[in-house]
Amino acid sequence: MSDPQASTRVLLVDDQPIIVEALRRMLASEDDIAFHFVTDGAQACAKALAVAPTIILQDLVMPGQDGFALLASYRAEAALRDVPVMVLSSKEDPKLKAHSFAVGASDYMVKLPDRLELIARVRYHSQAYQNGLERDEALRQLAMANRELQQLAALDGLTGIANRREFDAVIAREWLRGQRDKLPLSLLMCDVDHFKLYNDSCGHQAGDMALKKVAAVLTARLKRPADLAARYGGEEFVIVLPETDAAGAALVAEACRSHLASLALEHPHGVAGHVTMSIGVATALPHPADSPAALIARADQALYAAKTAGRNRVHAAPPPT
């Protein structure tokens, strides 16, 4: 039969019509086995790629085609690399067997084999191959699910940007890299001004929409893959700027502040709202007394200074002493 949906798909590669017909008859009564063949070894790989066999029955001696080279060519094709190949040889020769296995054969039988033994081996190798495909697919799906879970674990559930856990990991890593390579690292500590008042007057739904917009504004101002915007907690956000000095960080901070202040935010009841943001900027330099915690503390102190000075402004912390 030639049903492409059959659970076992056999491809016979043999130049002798009498062998092809004999094997076809052996397998014809098996409803779960689809039989395909090719008599020209040069077309074997193309035929195999077309029918996706679960097992290949392979002659070794064919005109103009080295059976061993053909075995190796299957293994060079990604789609055929693991397909079991059963060599059908006219000789019971231990050296031929050994070499067949060495170049990629899965089994070896002298033709014409016993029908029941042939069917048993065909089903065994085909099932083992398909089990391997299912296992590999399950592992691939598991790896994909794990990557998705890791990504979700690193994101803030409301805004979709990095969360506090991811920020902690990134700031620690980038601080160590900056110390090692003698590079500056800047941190922006951002706080939405009077957010409780905005929440109380506009409602929590509008507050959530505002926080999402703030996250979008911060993310849009970042131009490099290494830069990170994260939600620090509540209405506080942080931006990590590797290899950025104090002047460069101040420019990013001002761009974030001014853009947010100019926006009319969406409101669930159609009334536009406005929020502003105060930002503290701190820069770590290669310095023995510095640390990620000290950098965060300086940025937080600079943020407090910005809010004390009237809010909706950027304040830079002095470098560590």
DSSP assignment, residue 265?
Answer: B
Please, is 179 exposed, middle or buried when counting C-beta atoms within 10 Å of its C-beta (0-12, 13-18, 19+)?
middle
Give start and end residues of each alpha helix (H) in the chain: 17-28, 44-51, 67-76, 94-102, 115-153, 164-181, 195-202, 204-220, 246-261, 292-308
> Which are the catalytic amino acids?
235
Which residues contact residue 140 at a Cβ distance below 8 angstroms, ignoring those fewer than 6 apart? Answer: none
Terminal-residue alpha carbon distance, the chain: 83
CA distance 35 to 259: 68
DSSP code per residue over 43-60? GHHHHHHHH--SEEEEES
